[in-house]
Amino acid sequence: MSEEADASGDLDAIRRQKLERLQASGGGSSADTGTEGTGTGSGSNGEEGGTPSEPVAIDGVASFEATVDRHDVVLADFTASWCGPCRTLEPILERVAARAPGVVATIDIDANPDLAQQHNVRGVPTLLLFADGEPTERLVGVQDEAVLVDLIEQQA
C-alpha cells in the first residue's frame, strides 16, 4: 500500500512541476492557476461545456468515461513516465490542447492498467481519438502537432 501512496505523491509532484513549467513558459494564465492538478478537472471553465486548454490527467475508468461522455472529441494519450517518446510527445500535446477544439486526456498506463487493457494498448505512446464516445483513430508513437490538430478538427 505504501508503494501506491508513494506513486500517488510522485504523480502529484509531476503535475505541479508541469503546471509550473507551463506558467513559466507563458502558457499559463490566471485562469489556469485555478486548477490544482487533481486529474479530475477539465481545465479552466471546462465545466460549462467548453474545452480545457491543457491536457486533462485521467485517474481511473470513471474519470475516463466521464471525460469521453462529456466532450464531443477526446484525444486520449496512453503514456508512461518511463517512456522517452512519451516525454517527447508531452509538449506537443500541450500545444494541441491549447489549439484544437477537442479535449486532450492523458492516461498513465502504470496507474491505469485496466484502461490500457480495455483499449488494447500494447505500446506507448498510443493515441486514441474518440468522437461522440466512439474510437475513430489509433496512432502509435510520436505524432506531429499539425496532424493531431487536423484529426481533431475533422471530428469536431
Q: Whole domain around residue 132: which residue ranges?
A: 39-155
Considering the domain boundaries, does residue 68 fall inside one? yes
Considering the domain boundaries, does residue 123 fall inside one? yes
Look up residue 20 and give its three cell numbers.
509550473
Residue whose C-alpha is closest to residue 26's, from 106, 112, 94: 94
Pairing state between β 73-79 and 134-140:
unpaired
Question: How are the residues of the chain apportioned to helix, strand and coil, as percentages rounded to the nearest 5?
Answer: 45, 20, 35
The answer to whether 79 and 125 have CB atoms below 8 angstroms apart is yes
Q: What is the pLDDT of residue 58?
A: 97
86 is catalytic: yes
Considering the domain boundaries, does residue 78 fall inside one? yes
The residue ranking higher by pLDDT, 138 or 52, is 138
CATH number of the domain encompassing residue 94: 3.40.30.10
- Alpha carbon distance 28, 54 (integer Å): 9
Considering the domain boundaries, does residue 65 fall inside one? yes
| Confidence class for position 145, pLDDT limits 50, 70, 90 | very high
Choosing from 58, 86, 105, 111, which is the catalytic residue?
Answer: 86
Considering the domain boundaries, does residue 75 fall inside one? yes
The answer to whether 28 and 53 have CB atoms below 8 angstroms apart is no
The mean pLDDT value for 92-119 works out to 97
Q: Residue 136's Cα: distance from chain center in Å? A: 17
Considering the domain boundaries, does residue 66 fall inside one? yes
Taking the model in full, what pTM does it have?
A: 0.70
3 is catalytic: no
Total tally of structural domains belonging to the chain:
1
Choosing from 7, 83, 139, 140, which is the catalytic residue?
Answer: 83
Burial class (CB in 10 A: 0-12, 13-18, 19+), 124: buried
pLDDT in tens, 33-65: 333 333 333 333 343 457 789 999 999 999 999
Considering the domain boundaries, does residue 20 fall inside one? no
Considering the domain boundaries, does residue 46 fall inside one? yes
pLDDT in tens, 110-129: 999 999 999 999 999 999 99
